Structure 1
Amino acid sequence: MILLCRPDELAEGQSRGFDVDGLKLMLVRRHGQVHAYENRCPHRGIPLEWVPDQFLDHSGSLIQCAAHGALFLIESGECVTGPCVGDVLQPLDCREDAEGIWLLREA
């Protein structure tokens, strides 16, 4: 397990990006649950954000690709509008406890 951040470092409705040994990933907290995805748009394979830690649309209810505006559901990573409709962000296994938010990786 790899510690990404403390629980209080990812507030409700916020997103954060991380680079773990070359793996770019993002976390979003919605309705108290943490969702983790690879920071890679399925349309072009590029990072989703232009500004660090800004992965959400203006409403804060969808993940947005800054390059071409594709929108993804936070809970499932499914693209609901844009050039990659029906594709999904690559989910990553993470766990949260009192100590932190952890990326679960195979050894």
Structure 2
Amino acid sequence: MRAGGEAAAVAGPGERTLCRLDDIPDGGARGFPAAPGGFTGLFAVRRGDRVFVYVNSCPHIGLPLEPLPDRFLDARRQNIVCSAHGARFRVEDGVCVSGPCLGDTLEAVEARIVDGAVVVPADAGL
């Protein structure tokens, strides 16, 4: 995230800039730590000009999903994977398609792209 730069200017009231869209590799994912005092962070998955943002917490037991920073996707980069128990989630809607939380969903965060920046609600991930 750029402090005070162009990205900061695009967020409206009640919003915050997560990052620039270009900061997330196309077909990849990036994690964002919780705000100070917060419990969970967020992560975003990019598919071209679209971005899908979720709370970084597995619906099965509430642990963060990634084993290493920014490692949210399977080897083929098709599904989000929980490192704790291998559950797989669709990128487009966060629905668990295999694993112990089958049918549950990740907590989606409304995100929009404004002038190349990914903007989310200010209280997302707190």
Unaligned runs of 5+ in 2: 1-14
- Checking the alignment, whether the CA contact within 8 Å between 2:24 and 2:30 is kept in structure 1 is yes
Larger of the two Rg values belongs to structure: 2
Partners in 2 of 1:10 and 1:55 — Cα distance?
A: 12
Match of 2:4 in 1: none
Q: Which amino acid aligns with 1:15?
A: A
Partners in 1 of 2:91 and 2:69 — Cα distance?
A: 18
Q: Which of 11, 17, 20 is 1:3 aligned to?
A: 17
TM-score by length of 1: 0.92
TM-score by length of 2: 0.79
Match of 2:26 in 1: 12
| Deviation beyond 4 Å, 4+ runs, structure 1 | none
Report Cα offsets for 1:39-93 as digits up to 9, x if no partner: 0000010000010011000010000001110000000000000000000000001
Q: Which of 84, 91, 103 is 1:74 aligned to?
A: 91
Number of matched pairs: 106
Match of 2:46 in 1: 29
Unaligned runs of 5+ in 1: none
Q: Which amino acid aligns with 1:17?
A: G
SS at 1:101 equivalent: strand
Deviation at 1:31, TM superposition (A): 4.1
- Checking the alignment, whether the CA contact within 8 Å between 2:20 and 2:118 is kept in structure 1 is yes
